[in-house]
């Protein structure tokens, strides 16, 4: 489950997704921080689920590359362990972190991430309001540049929205919508409840300039 952010306007932390999260983590009660564990890999092996929060996506990726949690988390989630990613944690679920909004304050070994989904996510996508028109136009240009170099769909998640992937099904949920960007096609807006399963059939091609 991938969230744009932890808060939706007027609601508490994760409240906009609480019902879906209760379902995702039905058998998980206590949360402990991997950064506090003497051995993060042992802590992961004993965990029933993973919650990766926000922050700088470059520093997050570098950290999980160095401590071995990137490969280990990918293996556990592919074996069925629930994964919740918020903001940078949503970027980490993609094949790469190339569609993060963050500044590259550190240099990871590579930009390759977990690859739990075969397409890219862009969190904090500006909403459809007049006040955010300029921000949305600027973001659209940046994502358009990404698509000029990479043949991979991008799902822009507005604040308050989330993507739930279960088996071979993907659904948009939350209190807001988003936008799907695909090379060679006009971008399209999506709303909570929309079926985005087709994105799971993506065959991503990176560093593949458009001709």
Predicted local distance difference test score (pLDDT) of residue 66: 95
* Cα 52 to Cα 63: distance, rounded to the nearest angstrom: 12
191/15: higher pLDDT: 191
Q: Which of 6, 8, 87, 161 is catalytic?
A: 87
Q: What is the pLDDT of residue 27?
A: 77
Contact present, 48 and 27 (Cβ < 8 Å): yes
- Identify the band that residue 52 occupies on the pLDDT scale cut at 50, 70 and 90: very high
Task: State what percent of residues in the chain have pLDDT above 70.
Answer: 99
The pLDDT score that the predictor gives to residue 12 is: 80
The reply to whether 76 falls in a domain is: yes
Is 211 a domain residue? Answer: no
pLDDT band of residue 152 (cuts 50, 70, 90) is very high
For 157-184, the pLDDT digits (tens) are 999 999 999 999 999 999 899 999 999 9
Which DSSP state fits 120? E
The total number of structural domains in the chain stands at 1
**CA–CA gap between residue 102 and residue 81 (Å, rounded):** 27
Q: What is the pLDDT of residue 130?
A: 67
Using CA atoms, how far residue 127 sits from 109, 116, 119, 140, in Å, is 33, 26, 21, 12
Say whether 124 is catalytic: yes
How do 50-52 and 83-86 pair as beta strands? Answer: parallel
Residue 206, in any domain of the structure: no
User: Which residue among 102, 112, 187, 194 is the active-site one?
Assistant: 102
Domain assignment present for 130:
yes
pLDDT in tens, 105-135: 999 999 999 999 999 999 999 987 767 888 9
Q: Which of 8, 124, 151, 161 is catalytic?
A: 124
What value does the mean pLDDT take over residues 24-47?
86
Task: For residue 209, tell me if it sits in a domain.
Answer: no
pLDDT of res. 110: 97
Q: In this structure, what CATH number is given to the domain that contains residue 140? A: 3.40.50.880
Residue 146: give the domain boundaries: 2-201
15 falls within a domain: yes
**What is the tens place of the pLDDT at every residue in 84-106?**
999 999 999 999 999 999 999 99
Q: Residue 131 domain-assigned?
A: yes
- 166 in any annotated domain: yes
User: What is the chain's Cα-based Rg?
Assistant: 17
Q: Please say if 39 is a catalytic residue.
A: no
Could you give the CA distance from residue 182 to residue 186 in angstroms, rounded to a whole number?
A: 7
């Amino acid at each position: 489950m991938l969230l744009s952010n932890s808060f939706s306007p007027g609601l508490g932390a994760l409240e906009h997704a609480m019902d879906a999260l209760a379902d995702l983590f039905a058998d998980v009660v206590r949360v402990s921080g991997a950064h506090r564990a003497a051995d993060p890999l042992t802590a992961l092996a004993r965990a029933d689920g993973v919650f990766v929060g926000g922050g700088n996506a470059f520093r997050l990726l570098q950290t999980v590359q160095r401590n071995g949690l990137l490969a280990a988390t990918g293996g556990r989630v592919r074996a069925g362990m629930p994964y919740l990613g918020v903001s940078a944690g949503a970027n980490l679920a993609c094949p790469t972190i190339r569609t993060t909004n963050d500044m590259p304050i550190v240099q990871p070994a590579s930009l390759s991430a977990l690859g739990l989904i075969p397409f890219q996510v862009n969190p904090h996508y500006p909403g459809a309001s007049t006040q955010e028109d300029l921000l949305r136009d600027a973001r659209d240009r940046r994502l358009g540049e990404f698509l000029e170099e990479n043949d991979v769909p991008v799902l822009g998640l507005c604040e308050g929205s989330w993507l739930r992937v279960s088996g071979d099904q993907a659904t948009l949920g939350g209190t807001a919508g988003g936008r799907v960007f695909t090379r060679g096609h006009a971008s399209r807006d999506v709303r909570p409840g929309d079926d985005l399963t087709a994105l799971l059939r993506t065959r991503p091609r990176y560093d593949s300039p458009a001709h």
